[in-house]
Amino acid sequence: MKREVPPGTKDANPCMKLKVNFYSYLRDLTGCAQTEAVLPEGSTLGALHDELMAQFPKLSAMKKSTLLAVGVDYQPREHVLQDGDEVSLFPPVQGG
């Protein structure tokens, strides 16, 4: 249910909308290549990751090894997200 905010007043709990991309076998674990998330302003990348693991429980097995990027840069879990950010989740990189 959408909460109505009277015109000219500031929303007490503003939210931000984020685009989330899943790559490689993380796409298989979630069953989708992309989703959207809505979090309170000031939320961190770690909070988003926790929300995604709650929504897609199979991601939890990869919690410690998932690489998280905002835009084109890898970021730590403490990174504060901004409205409209594009977040990407990658499995660990393997070399040969």
Position 93 scores a pLDDT of 77
Distances (CA, A) of 52 to 4, 10, 90, 94: 27, 28, 13, 23
Distance between CA atoms of 96 and 84, rounded to whole angstroms?
36
> What is this structure's pTM?
0.83
Residue 61: which residues within 8 A CB-CB, separation 6 or more?
none
Res. 5 pLDDT band, cuts 50 70 90: very low
Q: Check the CA dihedral 52-56-36-1 and report its sign.
A: negative
Using one digit for the tens of pLDDT, what is the confidence trace for 44-91?
Answer: 999 999 999 999 999 999 999 999 999 999 999 999 999 999 999 999
Count helices and strands (H / E) in the chain: 2, 5
